[in-house]
Amino acid sequence: MFYAKSIAVVGASPDERKLGHIILKNLIDGGFKGDIYPINPKAEEILGKKVYRNLVDIESNVDLAVIVVPSKFVSSVLEDAGKKGVKNTVIITGGFREIGGEGEKLENELLEVAKKYGIRIIGPNCQGINNTHNNMCASWPLITKKGKIAIISQSGTVAAAFADWCEMEGFGFSCFVSLGNKADVNEADLIEFFSNDGNTEVVSLYIEGVKDGRAFMDVAKKCEKPIVVLKPGTTERGKKAVESHTKSMAGRDKVFEAACKQSGIIRAKNFEEFYDFSKALAYIPKIGGNRVLIVTSSGGAAILAIDVLEKHGFNVIYTPEELKEKLREVTPAHAILDNPIDLTGDANAEMYKSVIELSQDYVDAILVIFGDPIENASEVIEQCWNEKPIVVCYTGGGDVEREETKKMQSKGIPVFPTPERAAKAMVALRWWYGE
């Protein structure tokens, strides 16, 4: 499915506005290295590719069929796939179980055909899949930046927003999977797959309901990579909306919460946590204990972080006398050394570097807050990155902040825009590596 070497786009279209065109174009423009077969009974050539009338007509092997034809034709396309020996399909088309009645019947038909031929289905009613490490954007928009996070989502928009943030911040992602109706492939199958995918470090999952709770917990427990979950429907009204959105059962939230705890799943409370936790877990090294030191140019920003850290079991240590003595030699006279180490407004990158280097033997992690337009912040962090784990917040630094943040993130160093978000990311790291 994800490392397909040949792909058919069934329902490829010459019309630029249609998904059957956009997906074909994204596969080509995304640099897919295998064979691409557009299928359309009425066209000869689309985007320079020879068009086939149906799957059966293709001479060579087809690893994956992406299906975008109207719902009533999908099951006959699956029949063709079966005859041709295509084992993997992604069905973009909507109009199945999510609309009830006739749609439900159509979806059951699909499943029968799939069962007959041993075909796996992602979808229907989904936004496709994109494995950047296989240059395979069978989805939209076109995103090609390779990263370490696999995004699995039951909402196209949540996944798109997540992917957009990954792209904007320069992290990219490993894979994007839109679950759709989960007629066949579900979250448990995908967790299992990504737990063995060498290009994925973190599995990020937006789901509205779990298909098989037992299977879900089993694969989650076995998965050695962090799984971050965002699951709405925590209120009664939210649950009702879940039902009408994806016909999922949100279930009792306390039960799901307990299941997450038992299976080592990290649960995000909102979209920003979902993104921040994933980014932190994918790119920040293991934090081995709860002793933290804060280096900052802003006392206020540090205190906002301290409240979050303290509430979640971190030990914001008091600076040992021995360390204080060392720090006195590299900091201005008016700096406050009590932790937060507050270099105050005239801090510069060199001071940060000295403090980080001197402090790292005394703690398990360092929270670095740049609270002013401090130039070359990125160089310092890069130089110190392979020592004690560092979590970076850059705030209140205007254009310099934007430039330095971009530099760091382009090197795979996460930067958080507020002290609370940086602190919360540290908390997620401790949840994963043990409190």
Residues lying near a copy of itself in the complex (CB under 8 A): 94-95, 99, 127, 141, 153-161, 164, 206, 208, 230, 232-238, 240-242, 244-246, 270-272, 297-304, 306-311, 316, 334, 336, 338, 340, 342, 344-345, 371-373, 395-398, 401, 418-421
Task: Tell me whether residue 161 or residue 330 sits nearer to a copy of itself (CB atom).
Answer: 161
Q: Shortest distance, CB of residue 310 to a copy of itself, whole angstroms?
A: 4
Q: Shortest distance, CB of residue 168 to a copy of itself, whole angstroms?
A: 9
Q: Shortest distance, CB of residue 6 to a copy of itself, whole angstroms?
A: 28
Q: Shortest distance, CB of residue 401 to a copy of itself, whole angstroms?
A: 8
Task: Tell me whether residue 79 or residue 375 sits nearer to a copy of itself (CB atom).
Answer: 375
For residue 293, the cross-strand partners are 366
Task: Tell me whether residue 357 or residue 420 sits nearer to a copy of itself (CB atom).
Answer: 420
Q: Shortest distance, CB of residue 102 to a copy of itself, whole angstroms?
A: 12
Q: Shortest distance, CB of residue 342 to a copy of itself, whole angstroms?
A: 7
With beta carbons less than 8 A apart as the criterion, state whether 232 and 256 touch. no
Q: Shortest distance, CB of residue 47 to a copy of itself, whole angstroms?
A: 21
Task: Tell me whether residue 54 or residue 144 sits nearer to a copy of itself (CB atom).
Answer: 144
Opening angle at CA 303, ends 426 and 335, nearest 5? 110
Task: Tell me whether residue 5 or residue 245 sits nearer to a copy of itself (CB atom).
Answer: 245
Task: Tell me whether residue 15 or residue 310 sits nearer to a copy of itself (CB atom).
Answer: 310
Q: Shortest distance, CB of residue 227 to a copy of itself, whole angstroms?
A: 18
**Number of alpha carbons in the 13 Å side-chain half-sphere of residue 36:** 26
CA distance 38 to 105: 28
Task: Tell me whether residue 319 or residue 409 sits nearer to a copy of itself (CB atom).
Answer: 319
Task: Tell me whether residue 81 or residue 250 sits nearer to a copy of itself (CB atom).
Answer: 250
> Strand 128-131 to strand 136-139: parallel, antiparallel, or no bridges (unpaired)?
antiparallel
Of 381, 291, 394, 297, which is closest to residue 336 (Cα–Cα)? Answer: 297
CA distance 398 to 403: 9
Structure-token pair, residue 214:
């037992």
CA distance 410 to 417: 16
